[in-house]
Structure 1
Amino acid sequence: MLDHIDRHLDRDLDLDALSSVAAYSKYHFHRQFTATFGLSVHRYIQLARMKRASYRLAYRDAESVTDIAMDAGYDGPDAFARAFRQRFGQSPSSFRKSPDWEPWLAAFGPLDNARSKLMQKTFTIDDVTIREVAPTPVAIMEHRGDPATLGATIQRFIAWRQAAGLHPRTNPTFNVWRSERRPASPADYSLDLCVGTNRPIEPNGDEIKAGEIPGGRCAVLRIVGNTDNLEPAALFLYRNWLPASGDEARDFPIYCQRLSFFPEVSEHEAVAELFLPLK
């Protein structure tokens, strides 16, 4: 049912249609959904649509607030603005200019909790392939510090690559993790946002640096769907696949290439490939 909702966020997801898909009566479907996920189906749909809208506000400057409001299921920008302010404490225009990410993360806690209960991905040894990877020169924007502020770094990264003409369709996007997803101290969180480019990297203060993702053998695991949290896939590679493979990890962090992005595609269509460098 959650997969069906994600695939049809632009459609009329009323209780009659959803209970029919679930093969329950309306009463039993609504009761079962709420008992299973801890929030009503209406609330889940609202949050899923609002998440997509907030991503578009933060990362897609060319899209108008009116279009975003209509796609989120509201009759117009005023109703959307009231709902947005109530949930995040900012107007849509204020969020677009300077998002406050901590209330945003807190607001989507119920959505993330619902998804994590029954939408865990499972992997098998056969899902992993070995690939010989060529070295890739990259421009790097480092994020160092509390992961709650990562959204602001992503905004700056997108703005810089747009100004540099490095579109995701022509220049690959990588994330290199240099710390655990949840280190003991949030200040120790460390992630590199990278874009592949053969151009010389012009100095840009401390924002942009030149670097390289080294070539060599890698274990590759492809993830399709919600790619916000790739920790379960990374743990599978380290804890399950690597000991069984007889291989040894190389001295370079695990990293991913993002092949398609939410909200440009629906969350169930987002694709990332996780690379574990091998000796």
Structure 2
Amino acid sequence: MTAALENDHARKNYHARMQRVLDHIDRHLDDDLGLDALSGVAAFSKYHFHRQFMSTFGVSVHRYVQLARMKRASYRLAYRDAQSVTDIAMDAGYDAPDAFARAFRQRFRQSPSSFRKSPDWEPWLAAFGPFDDARSKLMQTTFTADDVTIRDVPTTRVGIMEHRGDPATLGATIQRFIAWRKAAGLHPGTSPTFNVWRSERRPASPADYSNDLCAGTDRPIEAHGEQIKAGEIPGGRCAVLRVIGNTHNLEPAALYLYRDWLPVSGEEARDFPIYCQRLSLFPEVPEHEAVAELFLPLK
């Protein structure tokens, strides 16, 4: 083996050990995630691990764990109303609700109860910038043609809540969508969840962003006070690419389908936007185990 190959193998092994740590954190947010435990997962010396983690991810181990727990807590506050604020605080590693509230307000400029009622997503997005940057350093998936299957999919009738405008406010639309489907009795376990993208992920003007949130159902659509319309995702041939983990950003998978796979496939895209089906969602599953399938409609 040449020196270059040996170095590449060593680098990949090092990154795999660090990735193992991130996966362990995702899976064990309720457990001990101190330096001793995490350095053991990586099989690195605890005396050097915190510096290795910092140099790899640009954020300390302690900060990363705090952010991971706070992200789950904020999702539960915004999208899951079954848990009390006190229970969410305890799950986030705080001994008392007031300590959690202080940390939450410092980070997001809202109290947990205020965030639950009406989240302000701009400071939320800014607070998680370092966390998302850290995760993206090792989570850059490389797709190949073997990852793409061509599937005949049936037509699916859906209820549609349209999001039009700044993607920074998408969280509020998701919150309303979840509340609507609960009121309509459309549980994600029996009613499939889709996103249909009718614009780029980051258009030149945020006002041009367009995303349909859809719940599959054969029943008549009941609006329950929301702007909901009946529609369908048309059946036909589709190129399908499954993404596991990092499903909040499916742009790399979409780019692979359009830029790399489609030009050499001999296929031609059909006149319907690219869309995805959310098969498992965070925080019901650890973030690295969330699954989505991306569908590129073909002629």
Q: Name the counterpart of 1:260.
A: 280
Give me the whole-angstrom Cα distance separating, in 1, the residues matched to 2:113 and 2:208: 32
Give me the whole-angstrom Cα distance separating, in 2, the residues matched to 1:232 and 1:13: 30
Corresponding position: 1:212 with 2:232:
yes
Task: Tell me how far 1:124 sits from its aligned partner.
Answer: 1.1
Corresponding position: 1:49 with 2:65:
no
Partners of 2:157 and 2:232 within 8 A in 1: yes
C-alpha distance 9-191 of structure 1, shift in aligned 2 (>3 A):
same
Q: How does 1:1-279 map to 2 (within 5 A)?
A: 1-202=21-222, 207-279=227-299
Task: Tell me how far 1:206 sits from its aligned partner.
Answer: 6.9
Greater Cα shift, 166-175 or 194-203: 194-203
Task: Tell me how far 1:25 sits from its aligned partner.
Answer: 2.0
TM superposition score normalised by structure 1 = 0.97
Greater Cα shift, 198-207 or 224-233: 198-207
Instruction: Flag structure 2 segments of 5+ consecutive residues without an equivalent.
Output: 1-20
- Residues 17-59 of structure 1 show CA distances to partners (whole Å, capped at 9, x for unaligned) of 1112222222321111112211101000000110000000000
Q: Secondary structure at the match of 2:194?
A: strand
Greater Cα shift, 267-276 or 196-205: 196-205
- Residues 135-155 of structure 1 show CA distances to partners (whole Å, capped at 9, x for unaligned) of 011110000000000000001
Task: Tell me how far 1:62 sits from its aligned partner.
Answer: 1.2
Q: Secondary structure at the match of 1:118?
A: coil
Give me the whole-angstrom Cα distance separating, in 2, the residues matched to 1:176 and 1:162: 20
- Residues 45-85 of structure 1 show CA distances to partners (whole Å, capped at 9, x for unaligned) of 00011000000000011111111111111112111111111
Instruction: Flag structure 1 segments of 5+ consecutive residues without an equivalent.
Output: none
TM superposition score normalised by structure 2 = 0.91
Report % sequence identity: 86
- Residues 236-267 of structure 1 show CA distances to partners (whole Å, capped at 9, x for unaligned) of 11111111211000010000000111011111
Task: Tell me how far 1:202 sits from its aligned partner.
Answer: 3.9
Q: Secondary structure at the match of 2:137?
A: helix
Greater Cα shift, 203-212 or 255-264: 203-212
RMSD of aligned residue pairs (Cα, Å)? 1.2
